[in-house]
Amino acid sequence: MTIRKAQKEDVSVIVQMIANDKLGKLREDYKLPLPEKYLKAFDNIDHDPNQELVVIEDESGKVIGTLQLSFIQYLTYQGGIRAQIEAVRVHEAYRGKGIGKILFQWAIEQSKLKGAHVVQLTTDKKRPDALEFYKTLGFVASHEGMKLHLL
């Protein structure tokens, strides 16, 4: 398997994976042709040096998973860098085969290389299986997260 930087031609399959779960179906607008807003978002991510959107391919070159890794510079922790993992998805036919673990190992290693002092993520409380998976990787529910949805 190969992890590589996502390309514009990957956006459709990435959005398809993001939309292919009980929560993603409610908030995404996956259709072909893909709405332009996704391609604009990809361009913004692709041009931001603090963003890494990647895909993982199987041996045949098929995209089977994705994640976005963001690096947040801030003043606390003596000007530290925080790595944020978002939008982790594995194609439904490949779930339970260790693909997610491979993606997380890659993201954690990239975070170390970037000098991040912490890797964080959020998960919806409606995804208890994801929460348990993250715990097996060493993540600890140490903080209470809150959100204010604006749209």
* pLDDT reported for residue 144: 87
Per-residue pLDDT band for 26 (boundaries 50, 70, 90) equals confident
User: Domains in the chain, please, with CATH?
Assistant: 2-136 (3.40.630.30)
* pLDDT reported for residue 24: 85
pLDDT at residue 145 above 90? no
104-122 in b/e form (b: 16+ CB < 10 A) is bebbbebbeeeebeebbbe
* pLDDT reported for residue 115: 97
* pLDDT reported for residue 23: 85
Taking only the tens place, the pLDDT of each residue in 33-89 is: 999 999 999 999 999 999 999 999 999 999 999 999 999 999 999 999 999 999 999
Cβ-contact 121, 84 below 8 angstroms? yes
* pLDDT reported for residue 150: 94
Cβ-contact 28, 15 below 8 angstroms? yes
State the chain's mean pLDDT as an integer: 95
Per-residue pLDDT band for 146 (boundaries 50, 70, 90) equals confident
* pLDDT reported for residue 36: 97
The C-alpha angle with vertex 25 and arms to 93 and 106, in degrees rounded to 5, equals: 50
Out of 6-15, 40-49, 96-105, 139-148, which region has the weakest mean confidence (pLDDT)?
139-148
